[in-house]
Amino acid sequence: MKSVDTSTVDVFAIPFNKYLGFEPSIDPAYLMVLPARAEYENHVQTVHASALFALAEATSGLFLLREFVEVENVVSVVRVVSVRYKKPGKGAIRSKASLATDKTEVLEALQKKRPILVPVQVSLYDGEDVLVMSATFEWFVLIKSE
C-alpha cells in the first residue's frame, strides 16, 4: 500500500467528498456544510446517518490538516471512531471540530518523528443549530520517512 502525504490533500477534492458535494462553510463558526438535498434523506425524510458520518469524517480530516498546517510530510489515517447520533437532522448540516488533546504533545511527537494518535472531536448541527451528531475520530499520524 502506498502512503499518501496528507499535507498536500485538498479535502474538498477527494473524489468521495466531491461526489457527496461537501462545501466549505461561509460562516466562520463552522468548517464544512452538507447541503440540503433529497439524495441525502433516509426513509423518514431526515439526513441519512451515513451522510452525517461522511461529513464528520471529512471535517475531522480538514480540521487536522488546518491545525497542523506547519508540519510537513504528514501521513494520517483514521484508526478509531466513536459516534453518537443525537437528533434527526434536517436540511443543510454544518460541522465544527476541535482537538481533543494537547497540540504541543502532538507537535513534540511529530518533531521526534514518533507516530501519535490524535483525537479530533466533531459536532454536526442542522439549520436550527440543533446538535444532530457528535463524534471523536482518532487519527494515527506520523511523519513520512524520506
Low-confidence ranges of the chain (pLDDT < 70): 1-8, 146
pLDDT digits (tens, 9 = 90+) for 82-120: 999 999 999 999 999 999 999 999 999 999 989 999 999
Distance of alpha carbon 80 from alpha carbon 77, whole angstroms? 10
DSSP annotation of 41 reads: B
* 84 part of a folded domain: yes
What's the domain range around 35?
6-143
How many domains is the chain built from?
1
* 1 part of a folded domain: no
* 98 part of a folded domain: yes
Instruction: Provide the grid cell at 118.
Output: 490524535
Distance of alpha carbon 79 from alpha carbon 36, whole angstroms? 29
Q: Which of 78, 65, 50, 77 is nearest to 13 (CA)?
A: 65
Please report the pLDDT score of residue 5 as a whole number.
Answer: 47
Query: Whole-model pTM?
Result: 0.90
3-state SS assignment for residue 29: coil
* 138 part of a folded domain: yes
* 33 part of a folded domain: yes
Long-range contact set of residues 45-52: C-beta below 8 Å, sequence gap at least 24: 45/90, 46/88, 46/89, 46/90, 47/88, 47/89, 47/90, 47/91, 47/93, 47/126, 47/132, 49/85, 51/20, 51/93, 52/85, 52/89, 52/93, 52/124, 52/132, 52/133
* 133 part of a folded domain: yes
Chain centre to alpha carbon of residue 113: 24
CATH at 110: 3.10.129.10
